[in-house]
Amino acid sequence: MKITLKGDVREFEAPKTALEIAASLSQALKKEALAVKVDGEVQGLTTVIDRDCALEFLTFADEEGRRVYRHTASHVMAQAVKALWPEAKLAIGPAIENGFYYDFDCDTAFSTEDFKKIEKEMERIVKANYPIVRSEKPRAEAIAYMQEKGEPYKVELIEDLPEDAVISFYTQGDFTDLCAGPHLPSTGYVKAVKIMSVAGAYWRGSEKNKMLQRLYATAFPKKADLDAYVQQLEEAKKRDHRRLGRELDLFDVRDEGPGFPFFYPKGMILRNILEDYWREIHRKAGYEEIKTPIMLNRGLWERSGHWDHYKENMYTTKIDDTDFAIKPMNCPGGILVYERRAWSYRDLPIRSGELGLVHRHEKSGTLHGLMRVRCFTQDDAHIFMRPDQIRDEIKGVYQLIDEVYKVFGFQYTVELSTRPENSIGTDEMWALATDGLQGALDDLGVTYTVNEGDGAFYGPKIDFHLRDCLGRTWQCGTIQLDFQMPLNFGLEYVAEDGSRKRPIMIHRVCFGSIERFIGILTEHFAGKFPTWLAPTQVKVLPVSDKSLDYARQVYERMKDKGLRVELDDRNEKIGYKIRYARQIDRVPYMLILGEKEIAEQTVSVRDRATDETTSYTLDEFLAKLEQEIKDRV
């Protein structure tokens, strides 16, 4: 049989397992392979290959390989729990990003002490290196089998499958679980495992069902990688924006308003700096700022489609017997701004931007600091253009977003999402839009991945995934093409030949949400914001009362220059003041002023980044600060 491997065709005698083929290619591949794609379908390494096909071996470096690895680890954990608590009932145990979980119905409430017992039993199962064997049963037989084993949740899952379905099971030692697979060849493949936490989870996510216990865990092929991941999580805890927001007196979410953040004076400084920067770059890029109402009537939301498709996430009320909704997004208001007058082809493109406050009803269990809230400010912009302007406008938007992310030191990846199955619009329009997005990225020489079929129903899109200093990714910026909204609202412009044409619309954001972006920045910088962003840029620290007058003079001079400066005139030792300014307030610069500085008319500057102290004249230091702020470093 002929096997295609990354374009290279090899011949093998049939039949062979995928693992045997890997071993014949190299011992390194045999050792690293976790699963295989057979003509694009992910399967286990024990799959027998008996025909011509294309093979792609998956390792832990591949997302699909990691999912197979961790899904097998979830079965190992389930086997361990059943060994320790035989009365526990099994629910589901999928692989998720960075790990896996398994849901159990067990009378014993799992504690952190139980984690160690479960991990020890998992180690025994791994060491036993049980082969993992797939088997199949007809639906009725599968139901009877799970009933006999006393697994009601598995029975319910099988009963939801079609009558003619063939149900697959995976067995390792004395443990068998219902599963579609695929899995690793044996339990011995699973090396380093750690249970992270336990949480409550309703069966099938419904509050009407029983609350189960969900054990979250993760697994890696090497203990060093697991240790590094755990260390990263510890660092992430230190950087948690919710804790830092309170410690730095920036922002918080109170019990009186779940999902509705409060911004304190220093947090407003940070927020206003970001908004001022947003306005500056948008003015330069030819955008005009608009403001649309926070509440609009039902008729608008029916025209936009939100009333029928998004109403459960909208806050609604009645005014003078008319239904109104607080806006969950800014787009319909932006369209009404375009509608205000007639436009010629010469006027296009029309670029308008809005820092618009939107409200969306999120379930309480999904709320998370500034990352998931019920009201937030989107830095929306909408561009109305002719078809021939698509590529150039997309390039302009891309370059603007790229500029923003570079200022904050973010690296990012780009994803192009294409036409989904439930799309609307003609083939011609989709081809035009996709070609415009792809052509713009190609013109700019951008490296991107194509996410087939994941575009919006109204058009393709480009998504930007930021990577922070801990390697975590955040989806922030997006560029979406839309034909449907201009159609729903009957938007037009007068073409060169005098006919009326429909514009194409771009939806795009840079920050995504001001609140969420501030949360990301807080964690990325661990609260140590660069000088241009820092709510307090300088702290003036007099050594004693003898230098207090000089400190006040320096403080007033810096304040007059428009710098964000604080004077710490508390009756505390200078060492305490320095530690507090650097470690608690995380101020970029501390000016230590004593008798020596008074005599020399200088300032001793302690740099937060290096913890070194340098002497400057005040004019020299002011010039240094002004340059840093201008360069946004």
Can you tell me the distance from the alpha carbon of 246 to that of 241, in angstroms, rounded to the nearest whole number? 8
Q: Look up residue 197 and give its two tokens.
A: 């936490």
Q: Of residues 43, 213, 378, 480, which has the active-site annotation? A: 378
Annotated catalytic residue 243: no
Nearest alpha carbon to residue 175 among 217, 135, 139, 138 = 135
Q: Of residues 331, 375, 476, 510, which has the active-site annotation? A: 331
Can you tell me the distance from the alpha carbon of 356 to that of 359, in angstroms, rounded to the nearest whole number? 10
Annotated catalytic residue 438: no
Can you tell me the distance from the alpha carbon of 238 to that of 241, in angstroms, rounded to the nearest whole number? 9
Annotated catalytic residue 378: yes
Give the DSSP H or E segment for 379. strand 375-385
Can you tell me the distance from the alpha carbon of 168 to that of 397, in angstroms, rounded to the nearest whole number? 49
Q: Look up residue 228 and give its two tokens.
A: 């590094």
Would you call 622 exposed, middle or buried from its count of C-beta atoms within 10 A (0-12, 13-18, 19+)?
middle
Q: Of residues 154, 214, 239, 507, which has the active-site annotation? A: 507
CA distances from 76 to 175, 184, 218 (A): 9, 11, 12
Q: Residue written as tokens 């920036």?
A: 250
Can you tell me the distance from the alpha carbon of 565 to that of 590, in angstroms, rounded to the nearest whole number? 10
Can you tell me the distance from the alpha carbon of 319 to that of 171, in angstroms, rounded to the nearest whole number? 62
Q: What phi-psi label fits residue 104: left (phi over 0), alpha (psi between -120 and 50 degrees) or beta?
A: beta
Contact 32, 182 (CB under 8 A): no
Contact 11, 1 (CB under 8 A): yes
Annotated catalytic residue 368: no
User: Which residues is 617 bridged to in the sheet?
Assistant: 602
Annotated catalytic residue 380: yes
Annotated catalytic residue 507: yes
3-state SS, one letter per residue, for 123-166: HHHHHHCCEEEEEEEEHHHHHHHHHHCCCHHHHHHHHCCCCCCE
CA distances from 633 to 122, 271, 558, 628 (A): 49, 17, 19, 5
DSSP-derived secondary structure letter, 502: P
Can you tell me the distance from the alpha carbon of 48 to that of 39, in angstroms, rounded to the nearest whole number? 13
Annotated catalytic residue 360: yes
Can you tell me the distance from the alpha carbon of 115 to that of 120, in angstroms, rounded to the nearest whole number? 9
Can you tell me the distance from the alpha carbon of 141 to that of 364, in angstroms, rounded to the nearest whole number? 41
Q: Of residues 70, 214, 461, 524, which has the active-site annotation? A: 461
Q: Of residues 382, 516, 582, 586, which has the active-site annotation? A: 382
Contacts 24+ apart (CB under 8 A), 594-600: 594/542, 594/543, 594/544, 594/546, 594/547, 595/543, 595/546, 595/547, 597/547, 597/550, 598/546, 598/547, 598/550
Contact 18, 39 (CB under 8 A): no
Give the DSSP H or E segment for 550. helix 548-560
Phi, psi torsion values for 164, nearest 5 degrees: -90, 10
Residues marked active site are found at: 331, 360, 378, 380, 382, 461, 507
